[in-house]
Amino acid sequence: MLQLHCHPSQFADDTGIYGSGEDAQMVANNVQKSLNVMEKWCTKWRINLCPSKTKVILFTKCYTKHKSLMPTLHLFHEQLTFVEEATFLGVKFNSSLTWEPQVRQLIAKAQPRLNLLRAMAAYSNNSNPNLLLQLYKAIVHPIFEYSSIAHVNAKDCHQNKLQCLQNAAIHSVLKTPSYISIKLLHDASGLPMLHEHIINFAKKRLKSMKETSPLIQEIIDQFKSVSHINIWKSPLDFLI
């Protein structure tokens, strides 16, 4: 349905269109052509879209440079809004793809559950540490795992923020003093470092995705052909 050089991404009623290129105006022209095709298709099948809920985000290493040259895009005669952060399928993307907004969101989701775990450990003198560690893996790890394939290449400063949450959880469960080293802390709990766990989980997810979709292998092959000239680390650098 979409024009060449643009690709759709859809899950249930969440739909995205993305294109890439060295010239922002050229990419915008291709995206606009795809939007026009989508308009005709929706009109034919009497499907209503909401332009006011449709957002546009430009991924670039030089956002400040391109900000003043933002091309306009329209859907059903309404101009679409450019944003610096966008959420798709529960994952927050920012223009520079640093994953800072996503990490911030993960911390906000995990903190209430960690507070509950900390309270259970503090107010129960006979609590079983192994049981509380299993509870931590059951209610907190899934938050970090959900978008692991995306944010696995986040910078160390962001990964450390997540690691600090796990450190605090282990300290609370094992009732260890704060000066205990992180390595000893994880040896005592039997938990791997959080980034290590995220990488292993993401590898399993990628393997599962490859078994169900031939497109994944095609993307991996394309990545391998250009990985030698890539300055910035991609998630695939950690997973293949």
Residue 99 DSSP SS3: coil
163 and 186 assigned to the same domain: yes
Host domain of residue 50: 6-89
Mean pLDDT, rounded, for 82-105: 92
pLDDT at residue 41 in the model: 92
Angstrom distance (rounded) from CA 199 to CA 192: 11
CA distance 29 to 27: 5
Residue type, 214: P
Classify 202 in phi/psi space as left (phi over 0), alpha (psi -120 to 50) or beta.
alpha
Whether 10 and 80 share a structural domain: yes
Residue 44 lies in a domain: yes
- Identity (one letter) of the amino acid at 26? M
Structure-token pair, residue 183? 């390595």
Number of domains in the chain: 2
Task: Verify that 104 and 193 share a domain, yes or no.
Answer: yes
Do residues 11 and 75 share a domain?
yes
Q: Taking the model in full, what pTM does it have?
A: 0.87
pLDDT (average), residues 104-112: 96
Taking only the tens place, the pLDDT of each residue in 2-33 is 545 788 888 888 889 998 888 888 888 999 99
Same domain for 106 and 194? yes
The answer to whether 194 touches 106, Cβ cutoff 8 Å, is no
